[in-house]
Each structure stands twice: as structure tokens, then as C-alpha cells.
Amino acid sequence: MIQLYSDWKTVVLGLLGVVVASMLPFGRLAAAPNLHGQIVSINLEQVRRGLAWVYVKYARSPEMFAAERDARHARRGLWADLPVEPWLWRKKHLSQVKEAR
């Protein structure tokens, strides 16, 4: 079973490009996501588009909370419906899988 909107991120993030920022030791590259010529935060972009929740336990950025508030108000993405928090959805569905065994 898949949670609603969980596969949309792949489609949207497929529009991102990558800008190589520098060469790291051992031949690794440091890169930054690029959308329409600007460096972006993938996490913030998902929240802005209504494709992800802000995980309150770990989030520290006021910009992230504002992006979620705006997405909710505009009913973008998952906010168009009555969404279920991913951590609650997983808890419910994992317990159902365990019960079925």
C-alpha cells in the first residue's frame, strides 16, 4: 500500500538540474540542486509545492514553516485533501501488516 502523493516527488524533482560546486577528496563531487537557473533546497521546494510535510521535531527554519502554511492555505498538493501525517500513516499501516502475518 502506498500513501497518497508519495510518488509525486519523483516526478517534480525530475525537473531539477544539478550544478557541480566543487571537487571533494577521492574524486567525489559536491553538487547543488538547480531549478530554473537558481540553487534551491529540495526539502523546501517539496514543502512549497505541497508534496511534503515539515517534520516539526527536527525543523528549525522559519522559512520551512511559512512554506507549509502557504501550501496549506493555497490547498496545494496533499493539502487539497484531508491528509494524514506520514508518521501516523506508517504506524497504522505497519501495524496492519504485522497483524496480517
Residue 93 lies in a domain: yes
**DSSP β-bridge partners for residue 5:** none
**CA-to-CA dists, residue 50 to 10, 60, 78, 93, angstroms:** 14, 19, 6, 22
Note the pLDDT tens digit of each residue in 44-63.
888 999 989 998 888 899 99
Residue 31 lies in a domain: yes
Residue 2 lies in a domain: no
Residue 20 lies in a domain: yes
In which domain, by residue range, is 58 found? 8-100
Residue 28 lies in a domain: yes
Residue 73 lies in a domain: yes
Q: Is 92 a residue whose pLDDT tops 80?
A: yes
Nearest to 19 by CA among 37, 7, 5, 44: 37
Residue 76 lies in a domain: yes
Letter string b/e over residues 4-15, b meaning 16 or more CB atoms within 10 A of that residue's CB: ebeebbeeeeee
Residue 70 lies in a domain: yes
In this structure, what C-alpha cell is assigned to residue 51? 508534496
Counting the structural domains of the chain, the total is 1
65/20: higher pLDDT? 65
